[in-house]
Amino acid sequence: MITCPACSISVSESSASCPSCHEPLDDRLDATKILSSDKAIPSGKERQSSTTSISHETLDGSRFHAGQVLASRYRVIDMIGRGGMGEVYRAEDLTLKQTVALKFLPESLVNDAPALERIRNEVSIARQIAHPYVCRVYDIGEAEGQHFLCMEFIKGEELASVLKRFGRLPSDKASDIARQICAGLAAAHKQGVIHRDLKPANVMIDGEGNAKITDFGLAAVAEQLTSDEIRSGTPAYMSPEQLAGEPLTTRSDIYSLGLVLYEIFTGKPAFKADSLPAMLHLRNSGGTVTSPAGHVSGLDPLVERVIMRCVEKEPQARPESAIAVAAALPGGDPLAAALAMGETPSPEMVASSGENIGLRPWIAATLLGWIIAGLVAAAVLGGISDWKVRAVRDNSPQDLAVKSRDIVTKLGYTDPPADSAFGFSPRNLDARQVRYITENSAPGTDLWNSVVSGRPGPVEFWYRQSLLYMEPVVTFSFGSVTEWDPPRNAVTGMVSIGLEPNGGLRYFHAIPREKYIVRTADAPTADWALLFSLAGLDLSKFTPADPIWTPTMHADEQASWTGSYPGQPDQPIRVSAASYAGKPVSFFIDQPWDPPPFAWSPPAGETADLAGFVILALLFMALIILAIWLARINIRLGRGDRLGAARLAFLVFALTLASWVFGGDHNATPDAFLALIQVAIAQSLLAGALVWLIYMALEPHVRRRWPETIISWTRAVGGDVRNALVGRDALVGVAVGVLSLLLASSEQAIRLYTGSIPTLAPHLFLLDTRRFIASGILNPIKAAVIISLFFFLLVCLIRLVTRRRWLAGGVYVLVFTLLAALVLTDLPLALPFVIVSYTLTAALMLRFGLLPMVVCSFVTYMLGFAHISTDFSAWYSGSMIAAVGIVLGLAVWAFHTSLGGEKLFREGLLNE
């Protein structure tokens, strides 16, 4: 004996239908396949019989009888349904030997040619929908003057019948059925098909408990029927625009989908009425949907949220696709759901979405191996081709500082200084020098060695001392004494010296003491030969000339000579000198490419350089203005990750202030020291405010449109640095950073091999531990964050305009390549490396997002400052080893974190 699921009486297992309610038993679903849970039907709940299926015993009045052959192809087995949309028969396809369903259209449409043509057009589209959760439509045919659709036969039960028998489905099963309906509906929408009549009666549950949407291709028929011909339940599932006779879109189906989901999760229809006129009156009068949580206690808030979004009256307020609905259901992807539903996901949602698994061990190991191999290769290439390393290999800055003090003493300035500072400057290899050497060198000249090994050389060492504390006045120097800050004539007794890396004098500049000395006829003259000797020049080989420059300090004697460096007769130089009371106050070597002092207009041929600078400055200003505008809008609308922005701004503020603590010069009077502290705090606040501004302008729009690019960044900013995705992106960033370093080293190596002029150097050398902490660690972190945000903002704006990810990357590469071409020397050689470099950064930002870009920038800046090579005995090796150690430590941490707890080797592998 079995129990009838409709009326609960005992029935013989051999019975085809229930003798009491006449419900078929053989075609009923096994309840366990639908429910898969004990909580489907609460105890004591009254089960309702189904009235949607027709048993074999109630076929009176059907158009065709069992065994009848239609269209010379289909043999009728029995009628399995009847309603306002016509009759449905189960039949055998005699040609293909398979069971199909034949759905005959209402007789009122037999002579309606426009309606039939519309049905044919829709069926031609609907037959292209091949999806496991959609009932296939095979063809449209005609038998005895009546049109029918040939469709997939589904052995199962209508969802409407299931809901009448069981009430609401268990939450897990309801979610499964709901996602299946969403998937089928999305497949139809992808083909341009709008169902127009989605309801539980048009969803079948097959023998495996899976949903299949039926009646695609018949939706157009529903609009041709009168209200008397429409099945009584249909208006309850129509969208407001459909009831109003307005044009329908896929969001009209989304409304009907929401009502179906309402019934699946609550077991009750969203709209109730005693009759069809009452239902139409209820719907047309603007009846609202009550919250599903009012029917089911403990309903998942995600379910309630997505249902209520689906049944919004305005189509634009509904989710934009069925996929969005599926993603928003429990067990889906809330991030994808929020995006598809037109919402901006919260930072917490972004952080919790996406993958939580790391890299496969072999991929992580490969990246780590590449990083190690890349560092080794870059060190080898750097030791050979890094002209800055070659130029300063022999003397450390401390050694040159001692030599500078000795020169100052020899020239008569013996008063002990109160303050001193020194450093390297690679600025002398500028565009003017490159242009002059290129245009005036004989064919076949090795330009590389003529620049690196020749004089004046590409690197200059500067030393300054003063009888008073040197207090920087330029805010950009950030509390550090530089070659020009404070000005060389700030106080009397200040001395400035420039040396070549080998110790040869380049320039000498001194401000005499305040006491005026009257020059007498027998007053001694300056020892010009000593100055020439300190510069490595022979005075006897120079020709006296008339002075052309006026000294910037008081002097009572001037002199000038012309000549050339030893062994470089093709590069004429002018030596200018001045003295006061017999002591040198000025000495400098004027190269033919040097501009006039304090000249503001660019010499001929340098307009492109100035144009590139102006364009970059204007671009930066435009982005700042745009950032202010966007941030203002976001703040006014309450958008933006304010906590994340505050954390990032504080990080940049702390890094900037710490770099001043470690890298600034703090010798000053108490009042001046307080002023330095105020400037340092002000600049730190400015840097933090700039980052906060860019982040508030950028982050909400990225989170709204491309949140996948900031998932790992949001997790890292939130403190989840042990997350596998954070480790993965950090490892990728280190790998690309090492690749960028290797590209730069390769370019220099090619220039060395071809004898081309080396590229310009954009940064200073690291000097000692204190400066290394500031310039080698803190500043690269700060610069990486700011520059990465700047480029990320730019590429997002381009992506917003182009609306295509890789097109945005192409435009980004093109713009910066053109800007670089304005200032590049030896363009044919440098251009490929520039294109590859910008392509790497664009791909990194678009594919992996912001975090790996920040890590890549940090690695590039740090290793660029360290000037890595294989010479571990050099004076700069300490900073080099520390920088490489930090990068390797970061890579190892990222490697371990990216594994996500997965073992590198499988169990027992090492024991085999």
Torsion angle defined by CA atoms of residues 155, 160, 166 and 169, in that order, rounded to the nearest 10 degrees: 90
Question: By the 8 A CB rule, do 726 and 716 touch?
Answer: yes
Question: By the 8 A CB rule, do 766 and 779 touch?
Answer: no
Burial of 609 (0-12, 13-18, 19+ CB in 10 A): middle
The 3-state DSSP class for residue 721 equals coil
The 3-state DSSP class for residue 705 equals helix
Residue 800 to residues 676, 790, 815, 845: CA-CA distances in angstroms?
43, 15, 16, 14
**Strand partners of residue 103:** 88, 149
Of 38, 60, 172, 197, the active-site residue reads: 197
> CA 340, CA 322: separation in Å to the nearest integer?
9
CA 74 to chain centre: 58
Question: By the 8 A CB rule, do 100 and 150 touch?
Answer: yes
Torsion angle defined by CA atoms of residues 194, 200, 205 and 211, in that order, rounded to the nearest 10 degrees: 40
Backbone angles phi, psi at 208, to 5 degrees: -95, 5
89 Cβ contact list (under 8 Å, min separation 6) = 62, 64, 76, 77, 78, 79, 80, 101, 102, 103, 104
> CA 744, CA 387: separation in Å to the nearest integer?
12
Exposure on the CB side of residue 694, measured as CA atoms within 13 A: 25
Length of the chain: 912
Backbone angles phi, psi at 421, to 5 degrees: -155, 155
DSSP code per residue over 504-543? -EEEEEEPPPSS--PPPTTPPPP-HHHHHHHTT--GGGSE
Q: 3-class secondary structure for 794-843?
A: HHHHHHHHHCCHHHHHHHHHHHHHHHHHHHCCCHHHHHHHHHHHHHHHHH
Angle at which helices 724-754 and 361-385 cross, to 10°: 30
Backbone angles phi, psi at 885, to 5 degrees: -65, -40
566 Cβ contact list (under 8 Å, min separation 6) = 536, 537, 538
Does residue 486 have a cis peptide bond before it, meaning omega lies within 30 degrees of 0? yes
Question: By the 8 A CB rule, do 283 and 239 touch?
Answer: no
Question: By the 8 A CB rule, do 574 and 535 touch?
Answer: no
> In the structure encoding, which two tokens stand for residue 401, read together?
């500082």
Torsion angle defined by CA atoms of residues 598, 602, 603 and 608, in that order, rounded to the nearest 10 degrees: 160
**Is 197 a known active-site residue?**
yes
Question: By the 8 A CB rule, do 371 and 892 touch?
Answer: no
> In the structure encoding, which two tokens stand for residue 469, read together?
């504390």
Q: Which helix (H) or strand (E) holds 561?
A: strand 557-565
Radius of gyration of the chain (CA): 41
Q: Which residues are catalytic?
A: 197
